[in-house]
Amino acid sequence: MSVHPASRSRVTLGSLAAKKAAGEKIVMVTAYDYPGAQIVEAAGVDVVLVGDSAAMTVLGYDSTVPVTIDEMIMLTAAVRRGLSAPLLVADLPFGSYEASDELAIATAQRFIKETGADAVKIERGGTTVDRARALVAAGVPVVGHVGLTPQTATSLGGYRAQGRTADKAARVIEDAVALQDAGCSLIVVEAVPSSVTAALIPRMEIPVIGIGAGADADGQVLVFHDLLGIYDGGAARFVKRYADLRTDAVAGVTAYANEVRTGEYPAPEHGYAMPADEVARLGELLPQR
């Protein structure tokens, strides 16, 4: 059943906290453009993330690292125009916030002012905890991201599950708690064993959104292109495909191409008519050949 945007009140950080308190699961999904935003709005999701996964899903880069601030701002502004009820979170791209508090604040302020995003997401613990604290102090709502952090996947040994030993799991949990203490409003935890999430949840007052982190999280996030089967390529084991839009899209464009080649398209009903007397007059107006 679709939910008409006008019938929903706007999702806020407070309403997400209330959902966690009530034990209601939070639904988060990525979107990268205006039609995608309209689709996730109609589906009634709670939070929309303009993830830097856009680098791979819509811009064709081979990782999230190359995407620029300007590219992310253009995509986030397009999503904003298609959304009304869900909370809108924008990923700050790699290299746009890590070096100093001043850099993080300047970048985040650009996103908030130029796109209308409600919050920004930043990756890792460590020095990112300081950046989160500075952003919150500057009035910017922040979402943290721990576990597998794609912007620094190379230093984590690639796109692989994190926290698979007790020591490493403890570090993931410490990072999440430190980000909470720094004032983050939500935490994304990616690709960790379910037992790590189970140990994390009792330590968190803010909602924890999992992706490949088991069923104990307060909510789940998936990439739009993965869950709809748009992206041509292997998906991580945590992805569940709910549609196969790529197959449908290729079939649709192939049928169009065939009909253009055979002359079946366009048919008369796809064209515009002109009154017969005007056609006759046109013949008189034009020089004879």
Please indicate whether residue 114 is annotated as part of the active site. Answer: no
The two beta strands, 47-50 and 26-30, are parallel
For the segment 156-195, give every residue that binds ligand KIV (CB under 6 A): 188, 190
- Say how far apart CA 184 and CA 196 lie, in whole Å: 20
Tokens linked to 57: 């899903």
Other Cβ atoms within 10 Å of 1 Cβ, number: 4
Find the part of the chain contacting ligand KIV (CB under 6 A) among 40-48, 50-58, 248-256, 273-281. 50-58
Give me the helix-helix angle, 34-42 and 69-82, nearest 10°. 40
Catalytic position from the list 190, 259, 269, 278: 190
Find the part of the chain contacting ligand KIV (CB under 6 A) among 49-57, 99-107, 109-117, 179-187. 49-57
Task: Judge contact between 195 and 210, C-beta under 8 A.
Answer: no
Q: Looking at 186, 221, 228, 230, which residue binds ligand KIV (CB under 6 A)?
A: 221
- Say how far apart CA 89 and CA 72 lie, in whole Å: 12
Least CB distance from residue 224 to ligand KIV, whole Å? Answer: 9
Q: Taking CB under 6 A as the rule, does residue 104 contact ligand KIV?
A: no
Tokens linked to 164: 């698979």
Tokens linked to 172: 């993931």
Q: Taking CB under 6 A as the rule, does residue 30 contact ligand KIV?
A: yes
Least CB distance from residue 169 to ligand KIV, whole Å? Answer: 19
Q: Taking CB under 6 A as the rule, does residue 226 contact ligand KIV?
A: no
How far from the centroid of its chain's Cα atoms is residue 89's Cα?
Answer: 8
Least CB distance from residue 149 to ligand KIV, whole Å? Answer: 8
Residues in contact with ligand KIV by CB under 6 A are 30, 49, 51-53, 91, 145, 188, 190, 211, 221, 223
